[in-house]
Structure 1
Amino acid sequence: MDRSILLADSLALGDLITYLGRAGRVEDGSVRLIAGSGVLAVYTAILYPAGILDNGPTVLGLRTAALTDRTEFDAVVPVRSLLDRLTRAQQAATEGAAPPIAVPTEVSTVTWAGISPPRGGWKQVGSTTAGTLERAGREGIDAVANALPEGTGEQIVRRVRAEVWNTPLPDLEHVPAGAGFAAVTLGFVGAEPDETIPIYEAGAWTRLTSSRGHVVVRRRSWSLLG
C-alpha cells in the first residue's frame, strides 16, 4: 500500500531532517513512524541490547509533528531512505507548505521496534534539569572513550557501554545515564541548562520531556510506582 506523510508545514519538515540527521550519526539504521489522530510520532533508537546477554538499556528518541490528515499507519523504515525523501521534499517546498512524502519500503529485522512505548497512561513521578542530563551524557561519552582503546573486541565494547549507560543519574535511580546520552546526541538539551525536564512513567517505561523532544527508556523490572 502506498502511504504518504502530509506534514503541516515546511518548518516541521526541516525539524525532522535535523532530528533524523542527528539520530543517524548514532544509529544509521531504522526509524519507526506511527501516524494517527493528526500526529506523526518518529522514534529513533539510540541505545538497545544487541542480544539476550547484552545488559544495556533501551533508550529511544521521540519527536512528533502535526499532520494535515488523520491517516493511520505504523511503519519501520530505513533512516537514510526517509532522510533522502525529506530532503527532496524540502527542496520542492513552496510558501511554507510541505509536499507529500512517500513512506519508504518497510524493513522487518529491527529488534528494538518490536516493543512499543504506550501512547497514554503516563504519570509524572519527578523531574530533573537539562543541565543534569547534559552532564551525564557528556561524562558518559568521555568514560566510554577512555575505557575503550583502539582494537577493543566487540564483547568488551558492549560490556563497557552497558556499564556506563546503565549507571543511574544522581538522585534518580530509575533513570540511566543513557537517557543523558540520547538527550545530548539528539540536541534535546544544551541551550537552557536550567530547563526543568519532567519525568513520567507508564508501565515499564520512563519518559523525559524537554522543549525539544522526548527521551523514552524501557526500565528493568522495578518502578517508582511499585
Structure 2
Amino acid sequence: MTDTGEAMLRFAEVETLQDLGTYVARARSLDADGAARLQGRGEVLAAWVQVLPGQGLLGSGLVLGLRVMKLDGAHELDATVPLAAVSDRLARRQSAGDVSAALQLPPMRVTPSWAAISPPRSGWVPRGEVTHVALVQTARDGIEAVARGTPAGAGAAAVASLRARVWGRQLSDDSAAPPAGMALAAHTLGFTGPDDTGTVLTSGPWTRLSLRNGEVLAR
C-alpha cells in the first residue's frame, strides 16, 4: 500500500456521489478488505470492483463489477483505493454535514492483481439474454450452496475451492450462458431490477453481462 497524495472527484450531482457510497458498501459486503479501481476520463467515472478472484496465470474465474457515473468537468484519474478508506471518507463527510458533490479520495493506493487486467473495449458479440428472475435465483441458490457446504473450521483452501465450483457453473445448459458468479455480482451490487433483462456478450475469453445499472465482466 502506498501514499501518493489525494485526488478530488467532482460529481455532476450529490445523488451520484451517494450512489458511489451505496456501490462501495455493496462491494464491501462481498469483500470487506477489497478495493475499487476508479478511472476518471473526461466527465465519466468508471468504478471497478472485484466480486470473485481469478485463479492461475490467466485469472480464470475472475468476476468484476463496473459502475459508470457522471462527473462534473474533465477528470484524468486512475487510482485503486481500499473500499474501507472510501467508506471512511464518505462517513466523515456525512458527520461533518458536507452536502457538496465532491469527494477527496483517500491517499492510500493498493495494487491488487485484478486491477492490472483490462477487459477488451471492442469486439463484443451478443450471445443472448438473461432475466432478473434467473439472476436473483441463481445468486440465492449459490449463496445457500456455499453456506451449506462450508462446515465450521473449514480451511481457506477448501472454501475457495467450493466457491470456485459453485460460482463457476453456468446459469443454464446453453453454451453461451454466463457463469453463476456473474449473477452473484449483478444481484449483490444492485445492478438488476424486477423488470430488467441483461444482455450477454463475449469477446475472446471474456463474458460481459450488460444491465441497466451496471456491467459484470468475467473470464
Task: Determine which of 179, 187, 210 is the counterpart of 1:184.
Answer: 187
Residues 58-137 of structure 1: matches in 2 within 5 Å? 58-89=62-93, 91-93=97-99, 97-98=100-101, 100-137=102-139
Q: 121-130 vs 76-85, which deviates more?
A: 121-130
* 1:42 counterpart residue number: 47
Indicate how the Cα distance of structure 1 residues 106 and 52 shifts in structure 2: closer, same or farther if over 3 A, else same: same
CA RMSD of aligned residues (A): 2.2
* 1:19 counterpart residue number: 23
Establish whether residue 155 from structure 1 lines up as the match of residue 150 from structure 2.
no
Partners of 1:84 and 1:119 in 2: CA distance: 32
Amino acid at match of 1:183: A
Partners of 2:217 and 2:134 in 1: CA distance: 16
Q: Aligned with 2:185: secondary structure?
A: helix
Q: Which ranges of structure 2 fall in alignment gaps of 5 or more residues?
A: none
Partners of 1:23 and 1:30 in 2: CA distance: 9
Is the 1:57–1:166 Cα contact (8 Å) retained in structure 2? yes
Partners of 1:137 and 1:173 in 2: CA distance: 19
- Which runs of 4 or more aligned residues in structure 1 lie more than 6 Å from their structure 2 counterparts after TM superposition? 53-56
Is the 1:30–1:44 Cα contact (8 Å) retained in structure 2? yes
Q: Aligned-pair distance for 1:2?
A: 4.1
* 1:209 counterpart residue number: 210
Q: Aligned-pair distance for 1:57?
A: 1.1
Identity %: 39
Q: Which ranges of structure 1 fall in alignment gaps of 5 or more residues?
A: 219-226
- The C-alpha deviation readout for 1:74-98, integer Å capped at 9, x for no partner, is 11101111122234445411xxx51
Partners of 1:74 and 1:53 in 2: CA distance: 24
* 1:222 counterpart residue number: none
Amino acid at match of 1:79: L
- The C-alpha deviation readout for 1:89-121, integer Å capped at 9, x for no partner, is 45411xxx51x2122224343111110123344
* 1:167 counterpart residue number: 169
Q: Aligned with 2:109: secondary structure?
A: coil
- TM-score, normalised to structure 2, is 0.87
Indicate how the Cα distance of structure 1 residues 53 and 205 shifts in structure 2: closer, same or farther if over 3 A, else same: closer
Indicate how the Cα distance of structure 1 residues 73 and 202 shifts in structure 2: closer, same or farther if over 3 A, else same: farther
Q: Aligned-pair distance for 1:44?
A: 0.8
Partners of 2:78 and 2:36 in 1: CA distance: 11
Is the 1:56–1:162 Cα contact (8 Å) retained in structure 2? no
Q: Aligned with 2:45: secondary structure?
A: strand
Is the 2:191–2:213 Cα contact (8 Å) retained in structure 1? yes
Indicate how the Cα distance of structure 1 residues 53 and 141 shifts in structure 2: closer, same or farther if over 3 A, else same: farther
